[in-house]
Amino acid sequence: VWANCLRVIQATIGEQSFRTWFLPIVPVALQNNVLIIQVPSTYFYEFLEEHYVEELKRAIHQELGPEGRLEYSIVVDQGNSQNQPRTLNLPTTRKAAGPAPVATPAAALAAGPMSSSARNVAAAAAAPMAPATLRNPFEASKAVDRHYLHSQLNGSYTFENYIEGDCNRLSRSAGLAVANKPGTTSFNPLMIYGGVGLGKTHLVQAIGNHIKASNSDKFVLYVSAEKFTNQFIESLRANAVQDFANFYLLVDILILDDVQFLSGKDKTQEMFFHIFNHLHQAGKQIVMTSDRPPRDLVGLEDRLLSRFKWGLTADLQSPDFETRMAIIQNKMQQDGIDIPPQVVEYLAHSVNTNVRELEGVLISLVAQSSLNRREIDLEMAKQALRHIIEEVEAEVNIDFIQKTCAEYFSVPLDLLKAKTRKKEVVTARQVAMYFAKEHTTHSLKSIGHHFGGRDHSTVIHSVQTVSDLIDSDKAFRGQIVELRKKFAGK
Ligand code: ADP
Ligand code: MG
């Protein structure tokens, strides 16, 4: 029957379109007057419904008579390594059920909502088929109030105020390309990585803002991986995982900030993997950031990491002197601040870690200047810098060390104080104890107490283990050096 339908359709549309949109369709089952066809993605379904309703209708009626109906089965998650293709059985009766915002249903083809028997046929015919874990995403339009669809973007992060330099050239231009043509470049997903305060969030927000300004019909969503995780956990608790998934399937451009946060959170990763596949297959744009290159994302599943390679990974480096100058000048202009050139130069010279810190110094300078009713001068700048360095040093207490080590090794902070013997956690815990001994005046007993009530011999053992490893393992030594910088101030 489907072959005959194809012949009818082929006669009426162009060869290219036919090849693109009809050859990939797999006929799945025919029961009474209902023909079930399988299409590769939701996007595919939408496109067919939007552009070829008439052709499909004519062909079906010619083959099956006026009672003939067509139903879609949509394959999502093709790349799922658990190799259970999931299907979404989309009734073509969206109009009867209430207007769907995205798809134009072929109401004429469908006499009523999909019967359960038809659904079973579809499931049986395309075996092995797991029960659909995601309901029709378009149904979410009923559950989700449109006013929730807020992009969560901060409009002040733009490309205009994102200063270009050698440190960010590739990332910036890739970002701009994605912003101009979301979902259609080969940069999908786009993964931006770089150290803290180097402009990841600014850049990906700029992408979102740019798209929002030029494609107002697109639903752009910015979300930190942390918020994503919390929302997911909350949905588990509230028994509303389906709503959670449905919401994310509505997104056209998904920006997930700080994916390293997903490390070790298997359930959340699985959900993200699912959403990722679905959106990617539907030609939606995905943008992510990470504080380290993907190969160093310990605790992220390989199947998820392998997805990142589908697109482009680009890094952000520390800005060089000229770029730092330009960033300060731009910031001054934006905020209407006036600072003598030699002070700007001094700041650009002295603060060479990251942009956030640079901005921090600037803000504190401005605050002091207005507090003391004094013009900003070199003396004041030096004073301010001293102040900031002291602050960094004062922050080196056990909490800070634990937090920094947990972050660095991508393990949840609370596990440092828990009983777990997982290797990554043990390493992070031992290193944190090592630095606590090195950088604070706490006794061994007190350090043990801060790590979930361990005794002083455990602390001694940890410090010893770390010292031994520093001697024997070059890569590990590198990590310690890197970490020590975070505690040493400047
Ligand atoms: P990250 O997300 O990498 O930690 P952010 O994007 O939050 O860093 O950047 C920190 C601060 O530095 C922000 O205020 C941001 O606007 C600013 N910034 C970073 N890079 C640039 C740049 N190239 N031009 C202008 N401002 C920048
Ligand atoms: Mg950030």
Contact partners, residue 35, CB within 8 Å, separation at least 6: 1, 2, 5, 27, 29, 60, 63, 64, 68, 69, 70, 71
- pLDDT reported for residue 115: 32
All structural domains of the chain with their residue ranges: 2-143, 169-316, 321-391, 398-488
pLDDT at 382: 86
The pLDDT value recorded for residue 149 is 75
- Whether 49 shows a pLDDT value over 80: the answer reads no
- 184 is annotated as contributing to ligand binding: no
> Residue range 31-52: average pLDDT?
78
pTM of this structure: 0.57
The mean of the pLDDT values for the chain is: 81
pLDDT surpasses 90 at 363: no
Counting ligand 1 atoms within 8 A of each CB, the residue from 156, 170, 202, 359 with the most, and so the one to mutate, is 202
Taking domain 2-143, whether its CATH number is 3.30.365.10 is answered by no
- The pLDDT tens digits for 181-209 are 999 989 999 999 999 999 999 999 999 99
Q: Whose CA is nearest to atom 20 of ligand 1?
A: 199
pLDDT at 76: 52
Per-residue pLDDT band for 225 (boundaries 50, 70, 90) equals very high
Q: Binding residue per annotation — 194?
A: no
**Sign, Cα dihedral of 253, 259, 263, 265:** negative
Please give the class, per CATH, of domain 321-391: mainly alpha
Helices (H), 336-455: 341-350, 355-371, 378-394, 398-408, 423-439, 444-450
| Span 267-284, average pLDDT | 95
- Tell me, what's the pLDDT at 18? 81
Phi, psi at 75, each rounded to 5°: -85, 120
Fold of 398-488: Chromosomal Replication Initiator Protein Dnaa; Chain: A; (1.10.1750)
Distance of CA 201 to the CA centre of its chain: 11
pLDDT tens-digit series, residues 113-138:
333 333 333 333 333 333 333 333 33
Distance 355 CA to ligand 2 centre (A): 11
CATH no. of 169-316: 3.40.50.300
Q: Which residues surround ligand 2, an ion (CB under 5 A)?
A: 200-201
The answer to the question of whether 155 is labelled as a binding residue is no
| Confidence bin at 75 (pLDDT 50/70/90) | low
